[in-house]
Amino acid sequence: MSDALPALLARFADRSATVGIIGLGYVGLPLARAFAAAGLRVLGFDIDPGKVAKLNADRSYIKQIPDAAVAEMRGRGFEATDRFDRLAEPDAVLVCVPTPLTESREPDLTYVSNSARAIAAGLRRGQLVVLESTTYPTTTRNVVLPLLERGGLTAGRDFFLAFSPEREDPGNPTHSVTCIPKVVGGLDAASGDAACALYATIVPKVVRVSTPEVAEACKILENTYRAVNIALVNEMKLLYDRMGIDVWEVIEAAKTKPFGYQAFYPGPGLGGHCIPLDPFYLTWVARQYGFNTRFIELAGEVNTAMPAFVVSKVADALNDAGKPVRGSKVLILGMAYKKDVDDPRESPGFELMDLLLRKGAAVSYNDPHIPELPRMRHWPHLHMASTPLTAENLAAQDCVLIATDHTAYDYRFVAAHSRLVVDTRNATRGVADRERVVRA
């Protein structure tokens, strides 16, 4: 056992440790809140000075964490900074940065590598480093470890290294970080001991696995499972649409089976940072081993085709009403990637908007959680503000497209005041006036 380990474990046990978190987004900020609530001092790092300034002024930029929660964190010693030369201060450094894909659908580990280099510049004896960002198996060992050891310190003896995948379900308070078991894979026994002791301060159960590769593969499996099953039900929707069968009724019937079936639901496309992207990390690394992940690639084809299918349904519905897409006013309801969150990452709403604009429609949107569209990497030209959801505005539209089924929407009100509604989420189920509604 490393002689640096007992002192680190003692600091975790008596809550005297400082936890550093790189990346204060939808994963990092809730994690910071959890550690602060557990009595540990938290130092948050982010390259965005605007986020840092807001947090240090007791203001939040994530819906699920109100300003009062940030003020409470600050009262417990939380501090945000963009000074990465302070990375030697924490006893544990958790990396929660984006892992996007390149234009050619290959892993982009720029943020992970930059974080590792920044940690290495101030890495000291006895520190724990944990990568939480979703990535392909072997990243921790083959990418992060060499960068950290460049300064001469050795993992497992001088410092500790582990992978523990983030598990966040935004908008669902019963699935907050403090309610979900945490999978932890240490590079060695000492690293596993350190990481497990850290997370035991905030989660109900730590699930220890043998290596970082197992923990990395676990996260990819979780997200690939969802991507493949969503693709299956999306394909069923395409088929049943042609056959005149209501896929939503089929799913409700199948749900009555008490074993062997879990309900997944179709939609206008995949959204969020995880499911649309992470399976392709496994696809990429599989090619390095001469293996083709056919299920994943086929699921990707099906899911990425859904926005075009939805736009074709909008065009058909407008045509039935005697209107071309060009010149028609289309209001998209919901630009978040899932209901009741303010997270627009990879939301299919952006592609729906872009496709409709390219066809000449006059497109606007409403989202109670996203008052203004942020600049997105793939959609920098889609920058507009949410339009009010009034009876007059609904009546002025040629089509209202439900892309995200926020709870805040009154769907009876929407259906009653709209000329035409295209519903991709079955949100209008139970609405009496259904003759104006087309489900897509």
The candidate with the shortest Cα–Cα distance to 392, out of 418, 363, 422, is 418
Point out the catalytic residue in the list 96, 218, 274, 399.
Answer: 274
Two tokens, residue 3: 């002689």
Two tokens, residue 56: 């240090």
Positive/negative CA dihedral, 417, 418, 424, 426: positive
Nearby residues of 16 by Cβ (< 8 Å), 6 or more positions away = none
The SS3 call for residue 163 is: strand
- Give ∠ CA 258-232-289 in degrees, rounded to 5: 115
CA distance 362 to 120: 51
The SS3 call for residue 421 is: strand
β-bridge pairing 437-439 and 79-81: unpaired
Task: Report in angstroms the alpha-carbon separations of 153 from 148, 168, 231.
Answer: 8, 33, 46
CA distance 369 to 386: 9
CA distance 132 to 194: 15
The pair phi, psi for residue 436, each rounded to 5°, is: -90, 0
Per DSSP, the chain holds a count of helices (H) and strands (E) of 16, 13
The SS3 call for residue 94 is: strand
The candidate with the shortest Cα–Cα distance to 295, out of 279, 274, 281, 276, is 279
The candidate with the shortest Cα–Cα distance to 220, out of 264, 263, 180, 275, is 275
Element at 66 (helix H, strand E): none
β-bridge pairing 92-95 and 79-81: unpaired
**Is residue 399 among the annotated active site residues?**
no
Residues recognised as catalytic: 274
